Structure 1
Amino acid sequence: MEDRRVKLADVARVAGVSRASASRALNGGYGVSAEVRRRVREVADRLGFEPHGAARALATGRASAGSRERIEIVIVDPDPQALSAKPFYGRVLTGAAQALAGHDVALELKLVPAPPSVDGDPPFGRILINMPPLPAAAYARHGRNIALGASAPGVPFVAPDNRGGGHQAAAHLVTTGRRRVGAVFGPDTPCARERQDGFLRMMAGAGLTVVSAHGDFTRATAYAAAKQLLAREPRLDAIFAACDVSAMGVLQALREAGRRVPDDVAVVGFDGSALADAADLSSIFMPAEEEAASAVQHLLDPALPPPARLPTALTVRGSS
């Protein structure tokens, strides 16, 4: 005999929302507005929808922790070892986990080499890292999202003051008397472009020309870029690296070239990670944990004001 009982999919279709949104509206979950919650419940009452007891337990997370609402952190990075090679990602996870303390929301990590297709049954929210503009815009139409760093128009983001940090690094090198300056900038991403812009603007204001090369925020490409810089300008007396991982490659190239740090060449990185502390590296500190926590708070409550740029600060160590 055909089962004519009204199903959740029927409620979602009539209410004009996804099945996941209908479930959240009926069970008091995160991620739906008051208007959607009201509309879904009205449709459910009108159709005579009666959720199955076991299904309700699963939807509300009472049956198992694995069925809780979840926030995905989607990292687009072609390096399969990125999580261990780039401290920034670990700091993001730490900040996000701390912000979710006390909330019945799971945290899920996805490291992918290219932007994944949009899921038809989206999670409660996503934090997008290194997501190019076009896919980020597509994601914005499927669930609640926020990017770390500027992305597509219409996609909210939280980011540090990258330009200000680049300016601080340049000002430090100029005021300490460095005049033959090189830089290993990052890939073609908003945060890397902002750091480069802040650094170059300050150097131009001081009347200095920067010899530059680009890497991809990995040690290997920064090492190759630093060797290229030294071949082009052997008398460099300072190098700015656009992240601390890149700075490790710069330091390796300088050691192999017999250049002393900081006597011959000063080095400044960007991130303020544990790498900088361990290597006695001067670095621009950016509050990655606070950045991730702010993103989570915005997902939990989109009514909050748009996240502001987070301040950066130079920590001077032995490398400069």
Structure 2
Amino acid sequence: MDKRHPTLADVARVAGVSKTTASRAINGAYGTSPTVRDHVRAVAARLGFAPHTAARALATGRGGPHRRDRIEVLIVDPDPAAMSAKPFYGRVLAGAMGALGDEDLALEVRRVAAAPSGEDDAPFGRLLINLPEAAVAALARRSRTVALGRSAPGVTFVAPDNDGGASQAAAHLVATGRARIGAVFGPSTRCADERKAGFLRVMAGAGLSVASVDGDFTRATAYAATRELLRREPDLDAVFAACDVTAMGVLQALRETGRRVPHDVAVVGFDGSALAEAADLSSVYMPVEEEAASAVRRLLDPALPPAGRLPTTLTVRGSS
């Protein structure tokens, strides 16, 4: 009688899967569906297969100091209130969690004021937001990495069509007869620069100049910037805000200076967040949840093709 203990290869053969899939299913690691996981575990139990403890620890990453059972969402944003004040981040997390589904991976969120340097406890994968190219490239050498927004050469990214969305906003203001137009743009980041370029290109094509200031995607800065714009250009009849949070500061400044929206000044934002809907704000919708979900899918399966630019669409509401 064969007294040998059943091996992982035996389980895989009987279950009709590869050894890699069998290992993942038994150890509860990423990359297997609940149906496959239950089937493989049932076969293992029937055969009397017992995984070696040390091997299980290596397979799951739970047996040592370097945990590989999580995806880290790493956000660079100097605003201490960013996670509660900016709906964008909540939408990112919603999309990421939806894409994880039943995968046995935790989602860890870390906001830092500046890009981290040096070695750290490398996770299974990282979703990066607002990091400079050098930092993205360094982190990509240590774990699977996908950036939201175009970043370091060779690093997978998922991004909305920022340029095209801002172009739609500009074209809408021109088409509705606005001619003295201002803008509160964003900080010096790739996505903000793309929005700025798209907006200014359409304005130049229409023969219109733009009175603008650069902001930082916060309401307080946008409020102060709009007050300054109105001091310089009191006859403005439209303002483009580079994100919906920025638009909230613009609307506050207009209200406090006696301007009626949209009768005196039209306002268009960017994000298409719940803030825009609540404020009856015209805004460029970008599919943030799908952007984050697409990024997580590419962390789980690097063989997926590039996502390309996700479409953006202007939603016109009462503010313009």
The CA deviation at 1:102 is 1.8
The CA deviation at 1:298 is 0.6
Q: Residues 3-22 of structure 1 correspond to what in structure 2 (within 5 A)?
A: none
Match of 2:82 in 1: 82
TM-score, normalised to structure 1, is 0.81
Alpha-carbon contact 2:30-2:103 (below 8 Å) kept: no
1:28–1:143 CA distance, 2 compared to 1 (3 A): farther
Match of 1:306 in 2: 306
Match of 2:104 in 1: 104
1:62–1:134 CA distance, 2 compared to 1 (3 A): closer
The CA deviation at 1:104 is 1.3
The CA deviation at 1:60 is 3.3
Q: Residues 125-140 of structure 1 correspond to what in structure 2 (within 5 A)?
A: 125-140=125-140
Note if 1:92 corresponds to 2:83: no
The CA deviation at 1:306 is 1.0
The CA deviation at 1:79 is 1.2
* SS of the residue 1:158 aligns to: strand
Q: Give the whole-Å Cα distance in 2 for the aligned partners of 1:194 and 1:256.
A: 31
Q: Give the whole-Å Cα distance in 1 for the aligned partners of 2:172 and 2:162.
A: 15
Match of 1:8 in 2: none
**Which deviations, in whole Å up to 9, do the C-alpha atoms of 1:50-83 show, x marking residues without a partner?**
x9626725853899xxx77111000011111110
Unpaired runs of 5+ in structure 2?
A: 1-22, 32-50
Q: Give the whole-Å Cα distance in 2 for the aligned partners of 1:238 and 1:231.
A: 15
Q: Give the whole-Å Cα distance in 2 for the aligned partners of 1:182 and 1:29.
A: 52
Alpha-carbon contact 1:120-1:142 (below 8 Å) kept: no
CA RMSD of aligned residues (A): 2.3
Match of 1:256 in 2: 256
Match of 1:166 in 2: 166
Q: Give the whole-Å Cα distance in 2 for the aligned partners of 1:73 and 1:205.
A: 39
Match of 1:148 in 2: 148
Q: Residues 225-236 of structure 1 correspond to what in structure 2 (within 5 A)?
A: 225-236=225-236
The CA deviation at 1:118 is 4.6
The CA deviation at 1:232 is 0.8
Match of 2:276 in 1: 276
The CA deviation at 1:117 is 2.6
The CA deviation at 1:287 is 0.3
TM-score, normalised to structure 2, is 0.81
**Which deviations, in whole Å up to 9, do the C-alpha atoms of 1:87-113 show, x marking residues without a partner?**
000000000000001211111100111
Q: Give the whole-Å Cα distance in 2 for the aligned partners of 1:125 and 1:138.
A: 13
Runs of 4 or more off by more than 6 Å in structure 1? none
* SS of the residue 2:117 aligns to: coil
* SS of the residue 1:283 aligns to: strand
The AA in structure 1 aligned to 2:143 is G
Match of 1:204 in 2: 204
Match of 2:318 in 1: 318
The AA in structure 2 aligned to 1:172 is H
May I ask how many residue pairs the two structures share in their alignment?
A: 275
1:28–1:121 CA distance, 2 compared to 1 (3 A): farther
Q: Percent identity?
A: 73
The AA in structure 2 aligned to 1:313 is T
Alpha-carbon contact 1:72-1:125 (below 8 Å) kept: yes
Match of 1:224 in 2: 224
**Which deviations, in whole Å up to 9, do the C-alpha atoms of 1:192-250 show, x marking residues without a partner?**
00000000000100110000001000001111111111011100000000000000000
Match of 2:6 in 1: none
The CA deviation at 1:152 is 1.6
